[in-house]
């Protein structure tokens, strides 16, 4: 027996020598008391040999694993089986480290283990990368909130819990109301900081069991779980939470010494095991857009009728895509009359002759074109059609003096290739640029004002003139008047209509006219419908008029 033991120990010695190079090795007696360790064990655990010998492995227990984990381990090795697994240990200085561990029992004659040899490899780095990868895969790096992927898992889990008799769930889709402006105005650092603060405030305003996820950009999704089992009561609960969140964010934040607004529009939809996830997302999204269109900083609950509206809009969008090909757009022309009563030019106004719905007003489809980017294509068509008209007028002495104004959408004008596309069109069609007006609205200049002014100046070098449209409806009109190189100001109908009935409107209109005169900018009054209005405006120094009094927009003028 002694010989056998000696042999065993010799084998063990050889094994240890080979392993010492690469592995963390420890040998314990049958009770688990450490009787041998190698240098690597000391290095990783940061305990000295003296501190470790005679101790059990409890000295490096990190508390990470539950009690049952070690019970199972002991069960395995004490019955003579090899145990393999990954263990998280704690070094003397408190730092955690991970080791891939194999424990071999050394079996004696009595068939029970005499010793245990534990061989470990340091896998701390791998564990750390795994953790980081998991964090990256499931959490948004900016806010540390769950990302779309984790949200999807939580939604699936929530549906499952609900189906097993849990309460109703709700999905809340939040979209910041002015995030783009905040980013443009304060810069991206403040924008990022704002998102982090919002993430915190959202988390503070829901229960720990609810999920707040970053859905992308400035969109967040909140999943409320375990609401009442009665859908009606649950409906009230979700609206209450949504409104609490809305008002918590409506107060804004102080960032870099300034008040930054953080109001949100929230779409709410009930969610349970019967709702496919994509369906719930769509519903919450539709409700959120409804909240936006009701003026933002609102909460809206999804209703099936909203879907009908959205589908109608999608249909209209599809129709719009074909409208150019089918030649359904028309330009109408409305005269602009000088103070002496002669027609000095026209404004081109687009119309859509829908095959089933009839004539559709631009107010109903221009926003759709802008949202979808289709305005670029349609805008080019408008410009070309208008230029063809100008080229035609140029050939006739009777009409060559006429000007033609086209409306240019902010989206169109913001495009970097706008100037070159105008140059190309002018050249191809051979129209006189001196007779062309471009009408821009104030909202064109909310961003990159300097660059856009340069753009205007380049076009002015070609001979094109510029009018500021709908003047008086924006909010910073006066500063624009000073900085933009304008030829004409078009006073909005909302000021023109009441000039003869409301003294305040009359006074404002007169002031605008006087100001434009001083700044050497010509004026056109829009929406003139009565002789009285025209008389008042003429007397106040207005240069030109446009409105039903002088002529409605018409299909074929000249
Ligand atoms: P806008 O540029 O302010 O055009 C003037 C609008 O006032 C036109 O509406 C015109 O029909 C209407 N109007 C003219 N005189 C009177 C009047 O005496 N009384 C009343 N009540 N209304 C009058 P329309 O044609 O429906 O166009 C609406 C808006 O759609 C335009 O407002 C313009 O912003 C946009 N738009 C029209 N055509 C185009 C286009 O080719 N491109 C772009 N980007 N926008 C366009
Ligand atoms: Ca206009
Ligand atoms: Ca206008």
Give pLDDT, residue 481: 84
Q: What is the pLDDT of residues 348-364, one digit of tens each?
A: 999 999 999 899 999 98
Residue 533 CB less than 6 A away from ligand 1? no
Q: Which of 407, 437, 469, 497 should be mutated for ligand 1, with most atoms under 8 A from CB?
A: 407
Radius of gyration of the chain (CA): 38
Confidence (pLDDT) at 324? 82
* 405 Cα: distance to centroid of ligand 2 (angstroms): 8
What integer pLDDT is reported at residue 16 of this predicted model? 66
Residue ID of nearest Cα to ligand 1 atom 45: 407
Task: State CA 27 to chain mean position distance.
Answer: 58
Q: Residue 134 corresponds to which tokens in the numbers above?
A: 């998991």
The answer, yes or no, to whether any atom of ligand 1 lies below 6 A from the CB of 363, is yes
Distance 544 CA to ligand 3 centre (A): 14
Going along the chain from its start, the domains and CATH numbers come out as 21-128 (3.30.450.20), 139-302 (3.30.70.270), 313-545 (3.20.20.450)
- Contact call for residues 472 and 492 (beta carbons, < 8 A): yes
- pLDDT per residue rounded down to tens, the chain (558 residues): 677 878 888 887 787 677 777 899 999 999 999 999 999 999 999 999 999 999 999 999 999 999 999 999 999 999 999 999 999 999 999 999 999 999 999 988 888 899 999 999 999 999 999 998 888 899 999 999 999 999 999 999 999 999 998 899 999 999 999 899 888 888 999 999 999 999 999 999 999 999 999 999 999 999 999 999 999 999 999 999 999 999 999 999 998 888 999 999 999 999 989 989 999 999 999 999 999 989 899 999 999 999 998 888 888 889 999 998 899 999 999 999 999 999 999 999 999 999 998 999 999 899 999 988 899 999 999 999 999 999 999 999 999 999 999 999 999 999 999 999 999 999 999 999 999 999 999 989 888 889 999 999 999 999 999 999 999 887 656 778 888 999 999 999 999 999 999 999 999 999 999 999 999 999 999 999 999 999 999 999 999 999 999 999 999 767
Distance 445 CA to ligand 2 centre (A): 16
405 lines ligand 1 (CB under 6 A): no
Q: Which of 337, 349, 366, 385 to mutate to test the pocket of ligand 1 (most atoms within 8 A of CB)?
A: 349
- Burial (CB < 10 A; 0-12, 13-18, 19+), residue 344, is middle
pLDDT score, position 480: 82
Cα 336 from Cα 343, distance rounded (Å): 6
The DSSP line for 509-551 is HHHHHHHHHHTT-EEEE-S--SHHHHHHHHHTT--EE-STTT-
In the DSSP assignment, the letter for residue 435 is G
Residue 475 has what pLDDT? 65
The CA-atom distances, in angstroms, between 399 and each of 293, 389, 393, 403, 489 are: 44, 10, 5, 9, 24
Ligand approaching nearest to the C-alpha of 350: 1
Q: For position 537, what pLDDT does the model report?
A: 97
pTM for this model (two decimals): 0.64
Burial of 85 (0-12, 13-18, 19+ CB in 10 A): middle
pLDDT at 472: 82
Sign of CA dihedral 278, 284, 288, 293: positive
CA 400/CA 18 separation, integer angstroms = 100
Q: Which atom of ligand 1 is nearest to the CA of 470?
A: 3
Q: Which residues of 268-281 are buried (b: 16+ CB within 10 A; e: fewer)?
A: bbbbbeebeeeebb
Cβ atoms within 10 Å, residue 44: 18
Q: Would you state the pLDDT for residue 134?
A: 87
Please tell me if the CB atom of residue 492 comes closer than 6 angstroms to any atom of ligand 1. Answer: no
Q: Which ligand is nearest to the CA of 439?
A: 2
Phi, psi for residue 541 in degrees, rounded to 5: 95, 15
Q: Would you say 527 and 534 are in contact if contact means Cβ atoms under 8 Å apart?
A: no
Residue 548 beta carbon below 6 angstroms from any ligand 1 atom = yes
Contact 360, 319 (CB under 8 A): no
The answer to whether 168 touches 227, Cβ cutoff 8 Å, is yes
Instruction: Report the alpha-carbon distance of residue 218 to residue 141 in Å, rounded.
Output: 14
Instruction: State which residues have CB under 5 angstroms from ligand 3, the bound ion.
Output: 469-470, 526
Residue from 333, 353, 362, 469 to probe ligand 1 pocket by mutation (most atoms less than 8 Å from CB) = 362
Helices and strands (H, E) in the chain, number of each type: 20, 21
Cβ atoms within 10 Å, residue 322: 10
The sign of the torsion formed by the CA atoms of 370, 373, 376, 377 equals negative
Check pocket membership of 361 for ligand 1, CB cut-off 6 A: yes
| C-alpha–C-alpha distance, residues 103 and 87, integer Å | 12
Hey, how many other C-beta atoms are within 10 angstroms of the C-beta on 492? 21
């Amino acid at each position: 027996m002694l010989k056998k033991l000696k042999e065993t120990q010799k084998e063990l010695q050889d094994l240890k020598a080979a392993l010492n190079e690469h592995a963390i090795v420890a040998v314990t007696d049958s009770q688990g008391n450490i009787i041998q360790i190698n240098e690597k064990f000391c290095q990783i655990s940061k305990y000295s040999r003296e501190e470790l010998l005679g101790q059990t492995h409890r000295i490096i227990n990190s508390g990470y694993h539950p009690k049952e984990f070690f019970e199972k381990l002991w069960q395995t090795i004490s019955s003579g089986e090899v145990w393999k697994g990954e263990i998280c240990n704690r070094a003397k200085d408190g730092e955690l480290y991970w080791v891939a561990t194999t424990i071999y029992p050394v079996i004696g004659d009595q068939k029970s283990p005499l010793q245990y040899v534990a061989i470990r490899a340091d896998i701390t780095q791998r564990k750390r990368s795994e953790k980081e990868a998991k964090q990256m895969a499931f959490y948004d790096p900016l806010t540390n909130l769950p990302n779309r992927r984790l949200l999807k898992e939580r939604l699936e889990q929530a549906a499952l819990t609900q189906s097993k008799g849990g309460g109703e769930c709700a999905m809340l889709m939040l979209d910041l109301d002015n995030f783009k402006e905040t980013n443009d105005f304060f810069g991206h650092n403040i924008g990022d900081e704002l998102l982090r603060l919002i993430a915190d405030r959202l988390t503070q305003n829901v229960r720990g069991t609810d999920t707040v996820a970053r859905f992308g950009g400035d969109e967040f999704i909140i999943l409320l779980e375990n609401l009442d089992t009665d859908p009606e009561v649950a409906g009230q609960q979700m609206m209450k939470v949504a409104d609490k969140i809305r008002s918590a964010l409506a107060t804004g934040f102080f960032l870099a010494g300034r008040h930054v607004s953080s109001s949100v529009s929230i779409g709410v939809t009930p969610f349970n095991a019967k709702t496919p996830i994509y369906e719930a997302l769509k519903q919450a999204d539709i409700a959120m857009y409804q909240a936006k269109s009701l003026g933002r900083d609102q909460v809206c609950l999804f209703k099936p009728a909203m879907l009908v509206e959205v589908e109608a809009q999608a249909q209209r969008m599809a129709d719009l895509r074909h409208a150019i090909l089918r030649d359904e757009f028309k330009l109408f022309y409305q005269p602009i009359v000088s103070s002496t009563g002669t027609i000095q030019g026209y404004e081109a106004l687009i119309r859509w002759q829908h095959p089933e719905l009839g004539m559709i007003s631009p107010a109903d489809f221009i926003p759709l074109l802008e949202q979808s980017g289709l305005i670029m294509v349609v805008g080019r068509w408008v410009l070309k059609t208008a230029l063809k008209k100008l080229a035609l007028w140029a050939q006739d002495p009777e009409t060559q003096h006429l000007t033609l104004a086209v409306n240019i959408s902010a989206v169109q004008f913001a495009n970097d290739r706008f100037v070159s596309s105008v140059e190309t069109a002018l050249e191809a069609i051979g129209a006189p640029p001196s007779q062309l007006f471009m009408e821009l609205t104030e909202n064109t200049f909310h961003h990159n004002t300097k660059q856009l002014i340069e753009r205007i100046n380049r076009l002015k070098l070609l001979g094109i003139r510029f009018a500021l449209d709908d003047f008086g409806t924006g909010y910073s009109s006066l500063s624009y008047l000073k900085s933009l190189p304008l030829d004409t100001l078009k006073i909005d109908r909302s000021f023109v209509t009441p000039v003869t009935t409301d003294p305040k409107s009359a006074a404002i209109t007169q002031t605008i006219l006087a100001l434009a005169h001083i700044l050497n900018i010509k004026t056109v009054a829009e929406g003139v419908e009565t002789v009285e209005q025209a008389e008042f405006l003429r007397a106040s120094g207005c240069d030109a008029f446009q409105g039903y009094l002088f002529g409605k927009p018409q299909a074929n003028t000249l």
